[in-house]
Amino acid sequence: MTVPELFLVCSVVGALFTLNAYRPARSEPVSLPVFFAGWLTSELPLHHLAWEAAATAVFIDRGALDGGAGAVGLGITLVSWAGLVGLAVQASRSQAVLETALERGLGPRYRSSMDPELVVEGDAARRWRRLVLPLLMFVVPDREVEKVRDIDYAGDGITAHRLDLYRSRTHPTGCPVFVYIHGGAWVIGDKREQGVPLMLHLASRGWVAVGVNYRLSPRATFPDHIVDVKRALAWVREHVAGYGGDPSFVVVSGGSAGGHLAALAALTANDREYQPGFEEVDTSTAACVPFYGIYDFTNRHGVFGAGMGKRLLERMVMKVPLAVDRSAWEKASPMDRVGDEAPPFLVVHGANDTLVPVAEARHFVELLRQRSPSPTAYAELPGAQHAFEILPSIRTAHTVGAVERFLAAVHGARRASISNDPVTP
């Protein structure tokens, strides 16, 4: 193959990645490779443009434009680059989408209720460094945030029962607590891999953030996963004050399977069935922020196909067919646990999610707004794939800011309600 022809092939491949970020195929057999192909492209489009520009310069230096194929390849490349710039513009529009979601969920004047101590203007240069070098945060210690690794929250020595704690290096006290549960289809994943941009940001802004591991399938069978999450919440309630946290204000969050577990934990506060041996510990949460979660194992709305997802749940997670024990699947579904005691929710989902269809979030939010008196905010982000906020990106930065404002408003409302309570003699 000549250099011009090779350049044309590479140009077509690059353009297909860009096209996939805009219009991903949603059929179940290809949903996973489509996700991987679209995830980094849609979240780091300018990085893609930079390395493609470098590769194009090398091709041109080697004679890629000496033939007609090379000229066609260059034309395709330029169109693809325009698409990548468009993806960056699309990501920047998430800010307006998120703000509209907060205004609808909390009220148009929600900012007046935000706790001012929890919304602090940050270091713009620091934010830009994270956007330019998104992997740096995983290898270089944060100068503002201290990490306490691998705390045994169950006291049993099991490796899966570990949590990481993030707090300001100044060691403030009375900090609200943010608990994040990683995803991975209940079978893979680790607390060090997900939710890191959000936890680092909140920890630098007056929060104690906690990343939780839990037992994974196929070794674990539901409800082992949610029992472990509840054990972690129990540890937080009993011990986080020693790390500067306020055990009276704990919020829970997570992505994908972690979004499912976060929502389920928030909707089953103090459920004794999920708290064996620690039934009396208060595991209630002040708010919940699930990202691209699974909220209905029974698939009552036909959102998922009948293939891979159902087989995963039946064979590895639930280990009982839906047709045999539907009640167990319903108990595991946050949609079946929504009631009038649900805390405030901020539900975030990507419009281009190929692993968990966005309709799943829409149905869950509709149910929350029907049955829960607490505020429910919903942000459906254009162009966002599954797991979009794992790395620092333009969209992640806007999402982190919106979560910060949402939680500051919930915290401010909680403090205002406590201060207005009559004093009991």
- Helix locations, 107-189, DSSP H: 124-132
Task: Of 294, 274, 396, 270, give the one whose Cα is nearest residue 343.
Answer: 270
Asked whether 230 and 244 are in contact (CB, 8 A), the reply is: no
- Do residues 342 and 371 make contact, with C-beta atoms less than 8 angstroms apart? yes
SS3 177: strand
The active-site residue, picked from 228, 353, 372, 411, is 353
Residue 353 among the catalytic residues: yes
| Burial group, residue 317, by CB count within 10 angstroms (0-12, 13-18, 19+) | buried
Q: Which of 11, 256, 333, 393 is catalytic?
A: 256
Pick from 372, 382, 378, 367: which is nearest to 402 by CA? 378
Answer whether 413's CB lies under 8 Å from 113's CB: yes
- For 294, list phi and psi in degrees, rounded to 5: -105, 120
Give the whole-angstrom CA distance, residue 4 versus residue 396: 38
Among residues 192, 208, 207, 279, the alpha carbon closest in space to that of 240 is found at: 208
The one-character DSSP state at 239 is H
Q: List all residues 6 or more positions away from 82 whose beta carbon is below 8 Å from its beta carbon.
A: none
- 84 and 45 in contact (C-beta within 8 Å)? yes
Residue for token pair 């999450």: 229
How far is residue 373 CA from its own chain's centroid? 24
256: annotated active-site residue: yes
Active-site residue, 301 included: no
Q: Determine contact, residues 7/69, Cβ cutoff 8 Å.
A: yes
Candidates 47, 349, 386, 411; catalytic one: 386
Q: What are phi and psi of 232, to 5 degrees?
A: -65, -40
Q: Report helix angle 394-420 to 94-106, nearest 10.
A: 20
CA distance 54 to 89: 22
Q: Which residues does the annotation mark as catalytic?
A: 256, 353, 386
